[in-house]
Chain A
Amino acid sequence: MGDIYHFHKTVIGYNHIRSGIRCEDSSASGSDETGEIHIAVVADGHGDPSCFRSKEGADMAVGITVDTLLEFAQSFQDEGEKGHFYEQLSVAKNRELMLRRLTDTIISKWYAGVENDYRNHPLSEEELKEAGNYEDVYRSGKKIEHVYGTTLIGALWMPEYLILVQQGDGTCQVFYENGTAGCPIPKDDRCEQNITTSMCSEDVVQGIRSCAIDLRKNMVRACYLGSDGVEDSYRDEEGLENFYRQLLCRLLENGREGFEDFLFKEMPFLTKNGSGDDVSIAGIVNLSGLSRYLDLHQFYGKIKLYSLKAEYKDCCEALISMERKHERLLGNWNRVKAEIEHFDKKEIQLNIQEKEIYPKLGRMIDSFGKIERQGMETSKKSWITLSPKAKGRETQEKGSQNQKKEQARDDIYKQCLQVVRLIEDRKENEKKRNAGYGKRENAQAEYEEYDAEYKKKQRKKEELERCLERNPAIGDGK
């Protein structure tokens, strides 16, 4: 049968930690005493707040599925039965019936488990407050299974058959001995994005999917089960397949301990940088002759190709996303710079004005003083001693002096107003220019920071382009 290794690990989602929500995933794996039967199961409790006991539902689904799969396999362990069992499984109609019985058992046990838990732990007021639209429904004792809503994927590895069951989303990825890979459990089109069918769905009996792989005809190297937290971390199925293939390489390179260490380190990384959701992975792997099966060089080539393509796509997307803001930030910086230039020019103009305005005012004041002094000299003359003709001339001169004085005073007043306006203009210009400096600094900093990021992406894209062009095989997929 070979050296069969099973594992499972569940890690709380990064966003669950941030939001203070407990882990709602569950997983398990194990082998029987004979070492011939191996089981792996994962379940993902729904994050919908009205499914507030989904963790319990997931744990129950995992426990029940492990037990049921084990019973299913053990019931045929007698030598006499075993042959009959495999014979039955090889006939499509019988296989369908057997798998139906198996899934029906899992479902009925899960519902019984839910009923039991609900009876022993009635819903508290605090829990009911979380139920939203379901509050009244739950209070009337209806749809209680919804409180425990979960998905489920299970694998039973026997010497001659691999049995798989699934309800809801998540992925079961199988790698065959012939080098091919696939997801053998039929897809349910209703499971997409964040929507999933569930163990609590009304049509769970019809909706649960299963399949059996005859290992005598199509030997399986590895079978992985992953909650949607894993697949949602990758942009496409190829990325997901690469991730699972990588697990095989880890096993080959580092052995079981190294592999488990890898899972321990990498799964938190996966959820933090990927889906943010709880992440569960379980698997059963045939380690015998793994080095013959895996051509590490070829595999790393594949990874390199995929990662280059994916990174290139990411870069292109990021640049498209950044382009408009990049342009606008540059535009904003240029606008602020133009504003400051305008204020600088105005400052020069004001300086020129200032150079003219004060001497002119000085001259005006001097001229006014001269007129004043002339007037005073005229006044000193004795009015009585003057002849009537002279008196007439004197009166005319005084009138003219007064007029000149008025004019000069008026000119000084106007010039003073210009000085005041100049001072105000200068103050205003300085204020605006200083504000402009602040704005320019901010706009420059904002632009330069964004520009550095933008240019980094551009350089990366060019680098990837060159890399993809160098390798025609890689270039094809650009």
Chain B
Amino acid sequence: MPRTEELGGIPRKQLNIFYVLDTSGSMDGVPIATLNRTMSETISSVKQLVEKTADALVKISVLLFNSSCQWVQPKGAERLEDFIWEDVKAGGMTEMGLALKELNSKMSRKGFIESDIGSYLPVIIIMTDGRPTDEPDEALEEIKKNKWFTKAVKIGFALGPCADVNLLEKIVQDSEAVIKTDSLETFARLFKKATVNSIVMQGQSRTTADVVTGKGIVNEIMGGDGDDPYGFSDDDDLFGLGDDSDVFEFGDDSEYGYD
């Protein structure tokens, strides 16, 4: 008599996290260095978290877009323990439409989502610091027909004053699921927190009335616990952070390319 594990193995429930990251020319310099550091630290934090608590098999997919778009792992999503972040360079345009089209093609069981019944709703974290240089409307309409995309927990990061917040809001389908920040350090902290919280909050069974949303996660990480962990006393602080000397201000220094 075969044991239970011989009945086709017992795969752990999968949680797919998709990062869609802008690596266009405007990210050159400190922003891309911050993104590289942030991704590296985020992956490391998530590994620790998953080792300790999570019940999911976390799989990572990263789509980089500039004048073209490319997956960091083109053959398929990688298990967290196999995923390594390699620093990327910035350059080129901001072809957001192309990125959405590519994301759409891989958000399926024929693409990067493999498990049939044992999976959590995917998480999509999308970040840009600019405006699209192509026409993303058609790709946006197309991806909205994708069941996985529609149901996914989506969080947007609008980095710097030139980011197209309006487009990000349309992509994540909720204006409150977009984090707008001019500070790279703030971005780094919240980006990490958004990933970690997505995993923690997705891992609990919930009723249809309490579905985890990007907005819910954003509210949670913006200090909803009352401890104000990021040092923001209110929303204005988030965009100003004028008193905080350890944060970078876009526009204050042309090095960041946001002037």
Contacts and interface: CB of A to CB of B under 8 A. Distances in A.
B42 to A, nearest CB: 17
A234 interface: yes
A317 interface: yes
Given A195-B121, A237-B117, A323-B75, A228 B8 contact: no
A375 interface: no
A195 B55 contact: no
Interface residues of A, number: 69
Interface stretch (A68-76, A96-104, A274-282): A274-282
Interface in B91-121: 114-121
A270 B4 CA distance: 7
A462 to B, nearest CB: 18
A237 B116 contact: yes
B145 interface: no
Contacts of B76: 317, 320-321
A179 to B, nearest CB: 19
Contacts of B206: 46-48, 194-196
Given A202-B209, A328-B84, A328-B86, A235 B53 contact: no
A232 B117 contact: yes
A250 B1 contact: yes
B207 A193 contact: no
B210 interface: yes
Given A275-B118, A277-B55, A324-B78, A232 B13 contact: yes
Contacts of B207: 46, 48, 51, 146, 149, 195-198, 200-201
B84 A324 contact: yes
B82 A307 contact: no
A190 to B, nearest CB: 5
Given A202-B209, A328-B86, A236 B116 contact: yes
A274 B55 CA distance: 9
Interface stretch (B25-33, B166-174, B197-205, B242-250): B197-205
B2 A303 contact: yes
A254 B245 CA distance: 71
> Which of B2, B117, B121, B211: most chain A Cβ within 10 A?
B117
Contact of B7 (A149, A194, A195, A242): A242
A313 to B, nearest CB: 8
Interface in A254-299: 266, 269-270, 273-277
Given A47-B204, A236-B117, A269 B4 contact: yes
Contacts of B53: 15, 18-19
B5 interface: yes
> Which of B2, B7, B114, B209: most chain A Cβ within 10 A?
B7
B55 A321 contact: no
A242 B8 CA distance: 9
A246 B204 contact: no
A202 B84 CA distance: 45
Contact of A48 (B4, B9, B86, B204): B204
Contact of B121 (A194, A309, A320): A194
Interface in A150-205: 169, 190, 192-198, 200-202
B77 interface: yes
B114 to A, nearest CB: 6
A13 B205 CA distance: 13
B205 A196 contact: yes
Contacts of A235: 8-9, 11, 114-118
B73 interface: yes
B117 A231 contact: yes
Interface of A: 13-15, 18-19, 44, 46-51, 146, 149, 169, 190, 192-198, 200-202, 228, 231-240, 242-243, 246, 249-250, 253, 266, 269-270, 273-277, 300, 303, 306-307, 309-311, 313-314, 317-318, 320-325, 328
Interface of B: 1-13, 52-55, 59, 72-73, 75-79, 82-84, 86, 114-121, 151, 202-211
The 3 nearest A-B residue pairs measured at CB? A276-B55, A310-B8, A15-B55
